[in-house]
Amino acid sequence: MKKTVLITGATSGIGLACARRFADNGDQLILTGRNAQRLAEIEQELTAKGTSVLTLTFDVRDSTLAAQLIATLPAQWQQIDVLVNNAGLALGLEPEYEGNPEDWDAMIDTNIKGLLTMTRLIVPRMVERNRGHVINVGSVAGDAAYAGGNVYCATKAAVKAITDGLRIDVANTAVRVTNLKPGLVETNFSNIRFHGDTHRAATVYQGIKPLTGDDIAQVAVFAANAPEHVQIAEVLTLATHQASGSVIARAKSEE
């Protein structure tokens, strides 16, 4: 059955991969992000393939604008079947005592408060209809801290707790809640983390074949299309040579 799927942070990485996979699944998409031009390009790409797309340009940290845009959705877009809370970022890899408070604010406001904002705006209608699915993009980083990950790991631990809490809150309904926990995924994630230092970002993926955004998108679509009595509560997806957030077996470079 065709669904209406809202994906935050849909202009790149896992969010963009989810948009393409849900489009291939025949769903109609509400795509959000901060970059209006990039959203327009993605809309053009997907509509050319026959997908109905609505784009909303806002930062999930702006709860007021988010609420305004969701409240004024056209009638055909108001019944959101799947919410993919993907918008998130990591900034910096310094010891906690050397961290940048501005980076902390950005991660906390996006990864935690932005996710809560979208959940608060969308889930009440799911509960009223007794139907819907929330897919939160967490991380293996939410399972245990790694060196330099301090605040980012804390935000993803919060995503796990928030996701588990929501699942408990809606257990008396048919609304399903999923936490996707990717490991090492090669996107622009590391480039953002290192504030545009592409050389440093590239070293993150050296010596290992990482996951792609599409690998995670396939899991999201699978979870969303499981039988109605099946709730995929949590999925940890790692690259073959990654054992945890901090244990990665990298191939030795030849001298």
Cite the active site residues: 152
- 245, 141 contact by CB (below 8 A): yes
Handedness of CA 195, 200, 115, 1 (dihedral sign): positive
Please give the backbone phi and psi of residue 20, each rounded to the nearest 5 degrees, phi first: -70, -40
- 13, 184 contact by CB (below 8 A): no
Distance CA 226, CA 103 (A): 37
Q: What share of the chain is helix, strand, coil (3-state, %, to 5)?
A: 45, 15, 40
Please give the backbone phi and psi of residue 28, each rounded to the nearest 5 degrees, phi first: -100, 150
Distance (Å) of CA 93 to CA 54, 149, 150: 36, 6, 8
Burial class, 155, CB count within 10 angstroms (exposed 0-12 / middle 13-18 / buried 19+): buried
